[in-house]
Amino acid sequence: MDIRLGNGFDVHAFGPGDHVTLCGVQVPHNRGLVGHSDADVGLHTVTDAIYGALAQGDIGQHFPPSDPQWKGAASDIFLSHAVGMARDMGFDISNVDCTLICEAPKIGPHAAQMRAVMAKIMGLDANRVSVKATTSERLGFTGRSEGIACIATAALVKP
């Protein structure tokens, strides 16, 4: 049996807007996130965790920000690509664990929907997808409410 773990990390700064897209869910907020695509820091991080487990680089290698076709793109495209690559290489995704780091917006009220959306994109049961949040105790850029960070781990198994 081949078991692989991958991790991902991403950050996006706040900018103008009235919502943020996190883990595929639009969350009302007094600011948006800035990025080349839809700036979904959660989906980007999980995507990178899967690519990492496969030793297949990162999201920027597969979807370069210099390529205008990805401007404003929905990040489920990126996650679907990583999941498809895992399956093509003979791996099943055992589980993913995603932690959003921000002072606001509050993630708890949206976590179940985020889990359901990510599970659907990845073709997994929701009990294999974890979404949680923490603050940075008002320290650093997330503590100053300048943006959102995310870390994720993915476990892949090839029987």
Tell me the CATH number at 89: 3.30.1330.50
Residue whose entry in the numeric block shows the structure tokens 């496969």: 54
Give the structural domain span for 48: 2-158
Tokens of 63: 């979807």
Instruction: Identify whether the C-beta of residue 130 lies closer than 8 Å to the C-beta of residue 118.
Output: no
Confidence class of residue 51 from pLDDT cuts 50, 70 and 90?
A: very high
The H or E element that residue 117 is part of is helix 111-122
86: left (phi over 0), alpha (psi -120 to 50) or beta: alpha
Angle ∠(98,117,24) on CA atoms, nearest 5: 75
Q: What is the pLDDT of residues 57-90, one digit of tens each?
A: 999 999 998 999 899 899 999 999 999 999 999 9
Number of domains in the chain: 1
- pLDDT score of 96: 98
Q: How many CA atoms lie within 13 A of 2 on its CB side?
A: 9
Q: What is the pLDDT of residues 117-150, one digit of tens each?
A: 999 999 999 999 999 999 999 999 999 999 999 9
Residue 106, pLDDT > 90, answer: yes
pTM score? 0.96
- pLDDT score of 159: 87
- pLDDT score of 89: 98
How far, in Å, CA of 34 to CA of 91, rounded? 33
Q: What is the residue-averaged pLDDT of the chain?
A: 97
Q: Which is it for strands 147-158 and 92-101: parallel, antiparallel or unpaired?
A: antiparallel
Instruction: Identify whether the C-beta of residue 8 lies closer than 8 Å to the C-beta of residue 147.
Output: no
